Structure 1
């Protein structure tokens, strides 16, 4: 991973997330162990070049380090924490966002037998990097040195990355979310709608109907994919979005609570403090003081 480490460190010279000239690709650097940070992962491939990270999905804990990758196949509310980093050896990683249409396009061009009858897998997986996948990632990273080549060659490099990712031991789990007619794809379709309309009232019966499943089957499949119930998932979406709004604007907590779908400011404050450790305004002040 030496070359990957050197290239990320050369571009990400300060702690934080750097969006590269190829917008779907971000580089992350942290010189210290971090506090747990709630966020929402979009469908993406995350590769650690140096250091280690813990990701909490529901009550499940996933740890991975250099030489490993994490793949999220749907939008997932997670809590991430850098657990191995120092000023001398900072945490360095990359995140490549993709969508299921790109995965499906790769599947259709490869000689893979489609199996849509499987039960849906977890939408977050961790696996070791294979040599072909590592080299495909390097093809994209090296293109950052030649910005004029990015618009033409980056899409091919990304396609190669997705193809190699599908060839790893976790490839079949990822593939299920792209296959039309699979239960994983049906759940992914519902999750996409939930992310677009997270502030609206939710009825599990309506979501099950959109997935083409019975209520009980949908509930079980949704929890298998996300490690959360639909209500827990929506709550995490709302609270994470509320924090983004509070940090980016001067809005008060009550107006933000209603904006993200809460009917009770008291309930919002209570659940916000439970997730982020402090009530909304105190949490925002602490975050800004840290910066």
Structure 2
């Protein structure tokens, strides 16, 4: 790692530190940009990633997609190209050196626009790959990211300049052989990845309803067997496993909102059997619903 990248990482950490006075997620004046600060190692965090670029300025994080593990730190970045249910855990942080990171959400339309404008020789076909990828951070990428975060110190310039800098950031991701291929595959109309993205969107809108493979295959314009294969290539899980993670994460959110009975949360996300809901919930989160929520509230209150 060269000295300039080290300097850029240190400045980025300083900027995020200044704009995150306490632990947790911080929205910013740039709607697609979020900053994060955590003082120490935390319990696993369950969430659904939107398409986003994630950069760690200080510390390190581990993300689980299905059974696959992705580690990233200031030397690398993570990009999610589609909505993916993940398990994240901060693996390096302390009160003296807190975990500091940012997340920049983007849309497929932004990617398509850049591809059309760049006239680069990116083919119409892309090999199907994971919708989540970790790649090495470059000096050009960090330079653009720094200019975006610096805009938080001058709000009046954000409306005019932030869209231009975000476009540049996405351009540098597309220039990266690994990160670019991961994003581009979903921007190619009619590609396997683009059709799987439609299925992912459909499941996210209808996760509480029974999953019918023939219906999903129709959405994707694929055979059920082809859909199952390509869906797993992108998400590292089957459509049923994907739906289950969405259901259980939403049930956990409902329980935190004081839904009176765990079974009611299960019914709301599509479970017909309270015992099945409790069993699958405990398998994912480590404890039965009410015990897990009690422990989670206690940890959040610390």
TM-score, normalized by length of structure 2?
0.93
Looking at structure 1, the residues matched to 166 and 270 of structure 2 have their Cα atoms a distance apart, in angstroms, of 37
Looking at structure 1, the residues matched to 168 and 45 of structure 2 have their Cα atoms a distance apart, in angstroms, of 31
2:3 equivalent in structure 1: none
Deviations 1:22-41 (A, max 9, x none): 12111111111122222111
The question of 1:179 aligning with 2:188 is answered: yes
Looking at structure 2, the residues matched to 209 and 116 of structure 1 have their Cα atoms a distance apart, in angstroms, of 23
- SS of equivalent to 1:113: coil
The question of 1:225 aligning with 2:238 is answered: no
The question of 1:269 aligning with 2:274 is answered: no
1:54 equivalent in structure 2: 62
Q: Which of 111, 114, 118 pairs up with 2:119?
A: 111
Segments of 5+ residues of structure 1 without an aligned counterpart are: none
List structure 1 segments (4+ residues) > 4 angstroms apart after TM superposition.
none
Looking at structure 2, the residues matched to 247 and 197 of structure 1 have their Cα atoms a distance apart, in angstroms, of 22
The question of 1:7 aligning with 2:15 is answered: yes
Say how many residue pairs are matched. Answer: 291
The question of 1:252 aligning with 2:257 is answered: no
- SS of equivalent to 1:144: helix
Deviations 1:198-226 (A, max 9, x none): 11111112111111111111110000000
1:83 equivalent in structure 2: 91
Deviates more, 1:226-235 or 1:201-210: 201-210
TM-score, normalized by length of structure 1?
0.97
Looking at structure 2, the residues matched to 159 and 92 of structure 1 have their Cα atoms a distance apart, in angstroms, of 23
Shift of 1:252: 2.1
Q: Which of 143, 146, 154 pairs up with 2:151?
A: 143
Conserved? CA contact 2:125–2:185, under 8 Å: no
Deviations 1:77-123 (A, max 9, x none): 11101001111111110001111111111111112234344442100
- SS of equivalent to 1:272: helix
Q: RMSD of aligned C-alpha atoms?
A: 1.2
Deviations 1:164-212 (A, max 9, x none): 1101122122111111111111101110111111111111121111111
